[in-house]
Structure 1
């Protein structure tokens, strides 16, 4: 370990911590450090290299989050098994010497379903490797120790959680709200279903809701199942085209928009267009459902204000969740209501019959997590991790002739455009045979038969070793059809 893997250049512009991470990662990928190998203790390596122990601790934690190292309390830190990256990955890179076997560590991971892909790059999957498990377990222990109520959770959610969500949004998104504005929901889908039902109650009929094309298919189907009629609305490189709303012969009752990171194409609605959208909503007497999707993860350019923070006409219903920030396993989301008494009354009437579906104990635990600062810290550390994985995507796929890469300014997924639908189907099918799951861009069409060719894949949920192999397979499949 004192050879070229960890040669620290004191004159380099890169910080020592970055050099440590890169050197160890290079050693693992190059096969010098093999699965199961113990790495030096943080104190020993710091002494050997003449660097601070905190720098080594941070480097080990970073690599553990990427899936390269296994850090277990009371045991040496070891190189993680890389068999997940493919059955032949270890032998290809010389990571396992002849005659040597490595016993996998005992884990408490959930069993993998037989139908699960070998490398899951479907969009919408965050990494849970960096969740502060100590804070997570502490929050649930505290919630479980509270007095057990004899009633359902309040209509709009537990007061303390609503306080914490409001505080989080004020700090993270500049949205001036308080607990009375927040409705706790079981994720984004339930939030949209509730909003659509409230809109129908106000309109006295099935509401008409404009949706992005291409756009989030689950959200569109959720609105339709609640009786809404959806109208596909064009998007461009920046996001929703406001002029398309103006050109409609009859304005819709509402529009659902993903302004922070248009899903799936990745555009970011400029401030001028956001203000135009709000002006259109005021003139059309329409509601804006703002899905604040991926707003926490901007990789290029400063974050733009939420539509809700610009709204002076009580038009915007902000929809958010902690599925991408923490884990979809939690199924926790929220609505932030504008100062619209009729809309609030409609929400309360619906909640009277459809009680808050999020268990009270889960709400108490989430409130503790937010209050402890664990969520804020998690966003900060995963923002760095996802930035690194985004660079891996660019290194592997940028510049392929006839297959432009896009959607990477923010969020957790990317898009590879292809020449035609046949090429897209061929790439998705080939990757499926190789055990790599991605999505076809056609799946996001809001107009049957009107599809854009390409693939959509996520880069956050897979470990680095899996991601590197998956990207190599995507590149090979793409080159074969271009």
Structure 2
């Protein structure tokens, strides 16, 4: 690329980083920079403009998150292929931090002009209805989260929850981790029953940094995702004897988790949630205390509340009085967008009653099928888990465990969380700008994580919206599918915003908005 990319106005009140983003964005939308064109390296552009490299890196990362640039490890950063004009217009408007009410209708005149840039050289899908259970707890795989629909064509834009973005995954570190695992001596035995020691140590270190949970490697049990973790816990309750065990679950809550528990022959009983999470009042009023309770305290799934510290301590008091376990599903806790993180229940437990369940499916990819349990100081529970693993063995291949350990040790996971957190926070702003104020609808669930919820006032709105979106080949999940009580379903939809690029997301958000407005008009 010949000539200066843009000219910065250091006398303007607009921050340099904003000028960089606005200038490159306007050049792309104006056709000065075309799809496939390389942009200068961050080092070269920073030197040319006399700004810090970190400012250029941040600008490029934001533009990549918005879908304007394609950044690949070891390759030049290039202009992305934008979606159709309508979607690009929405991305342009929603990319600003201003609210939908005060977004500017014209470009900021203080932003730099890209007129001095000189580049080098130069469907509609078949209707389908996407229904059924959708994504659930801490990093459960997409196959266990999303409904199995072999008869339906793949949606053009898949907004079903539980699907993270893998676009920014460090491919070089990923391949290096698998090469390292493959280079190890081939074992002639199954992996250790609780998992490969090196991976357990790395998970322990990861939890200390990411969640403030101090645990030893010996406290970790490697699992094949959240489903296998919950299956193990349910099976240990069966070993206790003394009648059929019961696990209290959130209503609405994680449907795949309920199915796994019930498949193990353990009963579930529904406890309603309020704005913060599970209702302790209803839990305490149960005629017969449950043997365990499964909660998502950091980001209630799907409604998004988070349990205050006082309620967390109250839940531990209930567990002590009821002699029960607390299953803490640490669902997408790595991604907080609003408010400081709260301590994990496991970090508050001093009586050995909290079992922490987590995975790397939301952090990295569901394809890894890698999760973990953090066992409390409870000898009976440890012995029961060991007995089960002696019979069933660890289902995660040893080479996959070694690769995951290498990836964690390299720091790539921590870096990936940092960069995707910024991407998800940006996409959250796109959701708020497009859907924040709609008649007869309430947007929630956005304090953290990878999904949002829209609840409707009028009966029948969910079916109308889901069907309209399916006709456009856009998949979302009905909120009714999360009900733990038949006949007590809520009107609403649940959708993820992490996986699609910004231009596709903007197109889908525009269609969601139009569908809700049309449904509201029809109900009047």
TM-score when normalising by structure 2: 0.83
Question: 1:46 Cα shift?
Answer: 3.8
CA offset at residue 251 of structure 1?
0.4
Q: Note if contact 1:297-1:411 (Cα within 8 Å) is conserved in structure 2.
A: yes
Matched, 1:398 2:440: no
1:421/1:454 contact within 8 Å kept? no
Shift of 1:115: 2.1
1:36, distance to aligned residue in structure 2 (A): 2.9
1:97 is matched with none
Residue number in structure 1 paired with 2:499: 461
User: Which whole-Å deviations, capped at 9, do the CAs of 1:414-451 have from their partners, x for residues lacking one?
Assistant: 11111234111100110111121111111101111211
CA distance in 2, matches of 1:359, 1:12: 57
Match of 2:68 in 1: 68
Are 1:208 and 2:285 matched, yes or no? no
Aligned to 2:181: 143
Kindly tell me: are residues 309 and 14 of structure 1, through their superposed partners in 2, closer, same or farther at Cα, counting changes over 3 Å?
Answer: farther
Aligned to 2:193: 155
Query: Deviation digits for residues 175-234 of structure 1, max 9, x if unmatched?
Result: 121011110001111110111111111235431000000001111111111111110110
Between the aligned partners of 2:75 and 2:337, the Cα distance in structure 1 is: 36
Look up the match of 2:404: 366
Counterpart in the other structure of 2:35: 35
In 1, distance between residues paired with 2:345 and 2:314?
11
Asked if residue 324 in structure 1 is aligned to residue 359 in structure 2, the reply is no
Closer, same or farther: CA 9–292 of 1 in aligned 2, 3 Å:
farther
Q: Does 1:305 align with 2:358?
A: no
Q: Which residue of 1 aligns with 2:21?
A: 21
Alignment partner of 1:81 is 2:81: yes
Change (3 A) 1:360 1:273: same
Q: Does 1:422 align with 2:463?
A: no
- Residues 253 and 484 in structure 2, CA contact (< 8 A), matched pair in contact too: yes
Equivalent residue of 1:240, what SS? coil
Conserved in 2, the CA contact under 8 Å of 1:185 and 1:334?
yes
Partners of 2:65 and 2:426 within 8 A in 1: no
Looking at structure 1, the residues matched to 409 and 510 of structure 2 have their Cα atoms a distance apart, in angstroms, of 41
Give the structure, 1 or 2, with the largest relative contact order (CA under 8 Å, sep 6 or more).
Answer: 2
SS in 2 for 1:232: strand
Could you say what secondary structure the match of 2:273 adopts? strand
Contact 2:87/2:506, CA 8 A, preserved across alignment: no
Q: Where in structure 1 are there 5+ consecutive unaligned residues?
A: 94-101, 104-112
Report if aligned partners of 1:86, 1:466 keep a CA contact under 8 Å in 2. Answer: no
1:265-276 alignment runs, 5 A limit: 265-276=303-314
My pick for the range that moved more, 27-36 or 158-167, is: 27-36
Displacement of 1:303: 0.2
> Does the Cα contact within 8 Å between 1:405 and 1:415 map onto a contact in 2?
yes
Partners of 2:307 and 2:88 in 1: CA distance: 44
Structure 1 residues 7 and 312, CA gap change in structure 2 (3 angstroms): same
- SS at the partner of 1:236? coil
Distance (Å, rounded) in 2 between the aligned partners of 1:417 and 1:329: 31
Q: Match of 1:337?
A: 375
Of stretches 251-260 and 41-50 in structure 1, the one that deviates more from structure 2 is 41-50
Distance 1:73 1:220 in 2: 40
Deviates further, 419-428 or 197-206: 197-206
Task: List runs of 5+ in structure 2 lacking aligned partners.
Answer: 92-120, 123-149
Task: Tell me which moved more, 164-173 or 223-232.
Answer: 164-173
**2:221 counterpart of 1:183:** yes
Cα gap change, 1:77 to 1:304, in 2 (>3 Å): closer
Question: Which secondary structure does the structure 2 equivalent of 1:320 belong to?
Answer: strand
Contact 1:66 1:129 in 2 (8 A): no
CA distance in 2 between partners of 1:345 and 1:21 (Å): 56
Name the structure 1 match of 2:126.
none
Q: Deviation of residue 37 (structure 1)?
A: 3.5
CA RMSD of aligned residues (A): 2.7
Cα gap change, 1:434/1:362 in structure 2, threshold over 3 Å: closer, same or farther? same
TM-aligned CA distance change 1:176 to 1:47, over 3 Å? closer
What does 1:88-107 align with in structure 2 at a 5 Å threshold? Answer: none
Comparing 240-249 with 18-27, which one deviates more in the overlay?
18-27
